[in-house]
Structure 1
Amino acid sequence: MTRTFFGLLLLFVTASCYADKRPEAFNTIDKLFAAMSNFDHQAMRNTVTDSFILLEHGEIWTIEDLVNVVKPAGYTRTNYFSIINYEQQGELLTVNYWNKANFTQKNKSEDVIWLESAVLAKVDGNWLLRQMHSTRLPAGKTPDKVTFIKQKL
């Protein structure tokens, strides 16, 4: 009985530590990518500040630039993330993470992976993206020892 109790306690503590690795503000990133998967442009705009900037693989984009490349198409996008680390200082959060998207269309499936960072600010009680930096990995390259977790939204 004692072993069972300690085993359950260890499982609970491990699960609690894992939950702590995902800051509340990361929900905003989840919302952005869910909106991209659903081609919901207004929901995408709702996740960013007025001064949002995206540094996308060597280019500087606004939210409107991002919206313009997210067009309804015949594919399904499934998002996966792996948080590397984060630091919160009051109402400002920086987070570094891996982002994987699986694009499926008919019988074809392709994974695209990015190394990303984001700065989020709490504005009127809501976490919003102020800046993102995204570097796409070459096709077929997967980072070593990274466990991607499927988006829950």
Structure 2
Amino acid sequence: MTKTTLILLAIFSLPLLGIAQEKTDKQQVEALIQNSFDELFSDFNSEKTSDYYTEDFLLLELGEIWSLEMVTEYFDQAKSNPNRTTRLNKFEFIKTVIDGDRAWTSYWNWATFKQGEKVVRELKWLESATAVRTEEGWRLDMLHSTRVEENED
């Protein structure tokens, strides 16, 4: 190839590279789940709730309904605990559907809790979430969580 051909090829390829680098809505919603758990449920950064949740956010957990205010208070209280554990999150997405400015996703959620290097607890949930596209990006407006009890045979 000539130098001119290579330059033209590079110029015409730039828009395609930009498209490939942008995350799809599905990827954004799934990243929203991962990042929200890492930043909120692991690090208890309650000041970041608006980065992940809408003002009318609801958490349905173990038969209880938690408002955004209740969730934020929980994060603040947990953050102040000097003996809190470290939480590591792992997700396996089952299905994510985007319908215009609404999305829903279902996934397995595993959490490993450590005190120092020692694993003190492992939990698993089957969860679903709904999200809405806002001017700031995707935000969760509902999480529903069902704890899965592991049978130890």
Tell me the TM-score normalized by structure 1: 0.71
Aligned 8 A contact 1:45 1:63 in 2: no
Deviation, 1:68, is 2.7
Q: CA deviation at 1:125?
A: 4.5
Runs of 5+ consecutive residues of structure 1 not aligned to the other structure: 1-18, 143-153
Q: Which residue of 1 aligns with 2:89?
A: 79
Aligned: 1:132 with 2:136: no
Gaps of 5+ in 2: 1-22
Q: Which runs of 4+ in 1 moved over 6 A?
A: none
Root mean square deviation, CA, Å:
2.1
Is it true that 1:113 corresponds to 2:124 in the alignment? Answer: yes
Instruction: Find the counterpart in structure 2 of residue 92 from structure 1.
Output: 102
8 Å CA contact 2:112, 2:119 repeated in 1:
no
Aligned to 1:15: none
Match of 1:84, as an amino acid? I
Q: What is the distance in 1 between the residues matched to 2:111 and 2:85?
A: 12
How many Å separate the matches in 2 of 1:54 and 1:81?
Answer: 18
Aligned-partner residue type, residue 113 of structure 1: K
| Aligned residue in 1 for 2:73 | 68
Structure of higher CA gyration radius:
2
- Secondary structure of the residue aligned to 2:71 is helix
In the alignment, is the contact (CA less than 8 A) between 1:31 and 1:44 conserved in 2? no
Give the conservation status (yes or no) of the 8 Å contact 2:113–2:122.
yes
State the aligned residue count. Answer: 122
SS of residue matched to 1:49? strand
Letter paired with 1:62: S
CA distance in 2 between partners of 1:141 and 1:92 (Å): 36
State the Cα distance separating 1:67 from its structure 2 match. Answer: 2.6
Partner of 1:29: 33
1:28–1:47 Cα contact (<8 Å) kept: yes
Q: Residue type of the partner of 1:25?
A: V
The alpha-carbon deviation at position 46 of structure 1 amounts to 2.4
- Greater shift, 58-67 or 79-88, is seen at 58-67
Identity, % of aligned positions: 30
Aligned to 1:39: 44
Distance 1:50 1:141 in 2: 38
In structure 2, give the amino acid aligned to 1:116. Answer: E
Tell me the residue number matched to 2:113.
103
